[in-house]
Structure 1
Amino acid sequence: MSTIKDVATKAGVSRSTVSRVLNHHPYVDEKKRKAVQEAIKELGYTPNSSAQRLRGTETKTIAVLVSRIVNPFFSAVVDAMDEVATMHSYRMILCNTRGRADQELHFLELLRTKQVDGVILASIVNDWETIYPYLQYGPIVLCNEYPRDLHGAPVITIDQKKAMTTITKHLLHKGYDSIAYCNVYDVNHLPEGVRSPLAEDRYEGFVQTMKSEGKVIQSSWRFSGHSVDDGRDILRTILGLSNRPNAIITGSDEIAAGIIAEAKVKKVRIPEDLAVVGFDNQPTATLLEPQLTTIHQPTFEMGKQAMEMLLTLLANQNEQYESVTFLEAPIQIRHST
């Protein structure tokens, strides 16, 4: 990363001259101004964000990155973030990465180029070592998803492994012992170089609980998806199996809704023929027939605490928080199990 000293050396001027150019001081020789501007462009130099704030040039804007803007989970989390930001006279911009690493870095450039004061990652695609250098330009808070090698930033989430253990035990205690599994990511088929600790932890909770009860995990009963249509496809696939599961755990209420909708078409009784469990406790969970058993994600509290944490970091520029906050995520038992 280039420094103001590097710019001064390349332009052949003093650091104070570079500083005056950066601050748009009117009394700078035009030739020196152009030399500094060319050096800044060639070196890719960006003024230190903390110093800029000390000069009173904060943007009062926060960027929030999500992977799927249409996902109701993100809608609820982001709404809570916006409420807190507005209360503190901050604006919020929503950035849809579509699960692409290049898009994520594109939006992180908003922090480096001082177009936003801070960033909240509600989803994460790149490894943390790629994202970490951006912390020098402003604070970053992670909400929901998290990397394995996190350091230097706080995260607000739930205990994914514990939540999935709760779901699996519920089904086993209800007598369902042939359980299919669907996650919003397939941990074995993510793009090259991409990991999802969230998906890994959920699956680990499922596997450990099943094994502790001596239950077999069938590879043909493992699915991935994230939408209502994916849920419909999963139900059709299950019906084509010679050895069918009697229950399925899904990674979101959207997937579960698709399974239940297709079950009605195919005359499959829920939960008599197939018990269905969701994840998130979206408003639609109580509108389904039967109503959906699901894990309640505290979306409002998650978004609220993430934004409050970011605002705390902005108010304390010399401090760096490194913590993981686990919010409670209880199971909501309804009629689909």
Structure 2
Amino acid sequence: MSTIEDVARLAGLSRTTVSRVINNHPYVSIEKKQLVISAMNQLGYVPNSAARSLRNQKTGMLAVLIPRITNPFFSQLIESMEIEASDKGYQLIVCQTRYSKKKELTYLNLLKTKQVDGVIMASIQNDWELIEGYLQYGPIILCNEEDENATVPVIHVNQEYGGYIAAKHLVDQGHQRIAFSCRSLQSKVAKKREVGFLKALKEADLTFDENFAFRDAASIQDGKEVFHRIREMKDKPSAIFSSGDEVAAGIISEARRYGWRIPEDLAVIGFDNQAIAELMQPTISTVHQPIQQMASIALATLVDRLHSKKFHLRQDHILTVELVIRESTVSQNNVQLVEGDLQAQG
């Protein structure tokens, strides 16, 4: 019996490309599709996911829980996961929780009712003790989000270090009055980033002014509102660390609309290294997260747990973050000089 590897070999393409053709992935050229179809016809290869599902008593479906699909970070994470899932013979269901505890539990019930084989949680709203009960129905993986009580694989970056290097960069540029924004301290990710942020300030003997804390910002519009709150202050910060590039973009766009110079009047650094960070004028300094690597490890780990049946087993994959210096914190003429200094230090 022919396999997908046989089709890939005959077509002269990768197994990933063949998988994408079989699963109707939109980003495959017509030429490659024709090569795959021709090879399948020659070999008599017919994918039969329904028969395979019945034989293994599996749905072939995986669910990923995210808070907001409009957030470019989660959109990119989902895209990377979908490609990985397709390559492994699975389909991905995207479940948007909107930060709702009730919705999160509703989607976890997909595992309980055998509508999906496994779940990836990119955010957590409920306490782990409540989530853990669902492990009797199948594997759960944490990706991006982390919980110290979790008894499952956790794929994440060192969020605290990310907040630290962002704040230290601003300190190194001579800033002493530095603001901080995040979505909500209900988010464990935001908490970790603020811990790192405060650590950098403490090392520099700087005291954080609580008036500079904006803990309710998640979107571009929120960023615009943060700017107006700063603009109305008598004693303004000279820089701000936003734990998201969307908010940073909103701050910068509104600041420029009011004639503020970035970074001279207000330096801004974000987090995630989303595409918008390079498209803005000025470009946005940020902290890069390895999203594709995160997605790849998450899918591989979930599939491994499906096969091993070891659902209750902690395993940490901590990925590195990197500081990306652009024009929103360093004037255009000095960006290369600062990057050179960082490379020399490394």
Instruction: Indicate if the aligned counterparts of 1:66 and 1:123 stay in contact, CA closer than 8 A.
Output: yes
The answer on whether the counterparts of 1:281 and 1:294 sit within 8 Å (CA) in structure 2 is yes
Instruction: Give yes or no for the alignment of 1:222 onto 2:221.
Output: no
SS at match of 1:95: strand
Partner of 1:40: none
- Picking from 246, 259, 264, the partner of 1:254 is 246
Letter in 1 for 2:173: K
Matched, 1:278 2:277: no
Letter in 1 for 2:117: D
TM-score, with length taken from structure 1 = 0.80
Which of 1 and 2 has greater Rg? 1
Are the equivalent residues in 2 in contact too, given 1:148–1:197 (CA < 8 A)?
no
Unpaired runs of at least 5, structure 2: 1-52, 330-346
Instruction: Report the Cα distance in structure 1 between the residues aligned to 2:129 and 2:194, rounded to whole angstroms.
Output: 24
Q: CA deviation at 1:196?
A: 2.6
Instruction: Map 1:10-21 onto structure 2 (within 5 A).
Output: none
Cα deviation for residue 197 of structure 1 reads 2.2
- The one-letter code sitting in structure 2 at the alignment partner of 1:200 is K
Other-structure match for 1:211: 202
| 1:141-290 equivalence runs, <5 A | 141-151=141-151, 153-185=152-184, 187=185, 195-224=186-215, 225-290=217-282
Contact residue 140 and residue 311 of structure 2 kept, 8 A? no
Count of equivalent residues: 276
SS in structure 2 opposite 1:315? helix
Counterpart of 2:83 in structure 1 is: 83
How far does the alpha carbon of each residue in 1:8-35 deviate from its partner, in whole angstroms, 9 at most, with x for none?
xxxxxxxxxxxxxxxxxxxxxxxxxxxx
Code of the aligned partner of 2:177: S
Matches within 5 A, 1:10-89: 56-89=56-89
For the aligned residue pairs, the C-alpha RMSD in angstroms reads: 1.4
Superposition deviation, residue 54 in structure 1? 10
Instruction: State the Cα distance separating 1:296 from its structure 2 match.
Output: 0.4
- Relative to structure 1, the CA distance from residue 287 to residue 319 in structure 2 (aligned partners, 3 Å threshold; closer, same or farther) is closer
- Tell me if the contact between 1:147 and 1:196 (Cα under 8 Å) persists in the aligned partners: no
Question: How far apart, in 1, do the equivalents of 2:235 and 2:176 lie?
Answer: 13
8 Å contact 2:285–2:326 — kept in the other structure?
Answer: yes
Q: Percent identity?
A: 41
2:104 aligned partner, one-letter code: E
- Deviations along 1:156-179, one digit per CA (max 9) or x if unpaired, are 110011111111111111111110
Q: Is the 8 A contact 2:135 2:312 kept in 1?
A: no
Q: SS state of the match for residue 157, structure 1? A: strand
Q: 1:324 to 1:54 in 2, by over 3 A?
A: farther
1:189-245 alpha-carbon deviations (Å, 9 max, x no partner): xxxxxx432221111111122112111211111103000000000111101000000
Offset at residue 321 of structure 1 (A): 3.2
TM-score normalised to structure 2 length: 0.78
Q: Which amino acid aligns with 2:120?
A: I
Task: Indicate the SS of the match to 1:119.
Answer: strand
Runs of 4+ residues deviating >4 angstroms:
none
How many Å apart are 1:82 and its aligned residue? 0.7
- 1:331: Cα distance to partner? 0.6
Q: CA offsets, 1:87-110, max 9 Å, x none?
A: 111111000011000000000000
CA contact (8 A) 1:313 1:320 kept: no
Residue 93 of structure 1 aligns to which amino acid in structure 2? I
Show structure 1 runs of 5+ residues with no match.
Answer: 1-52, 188-194
- Name the CA distance, whole Å, in 1 between partners of 2:313 and 2:129: 17
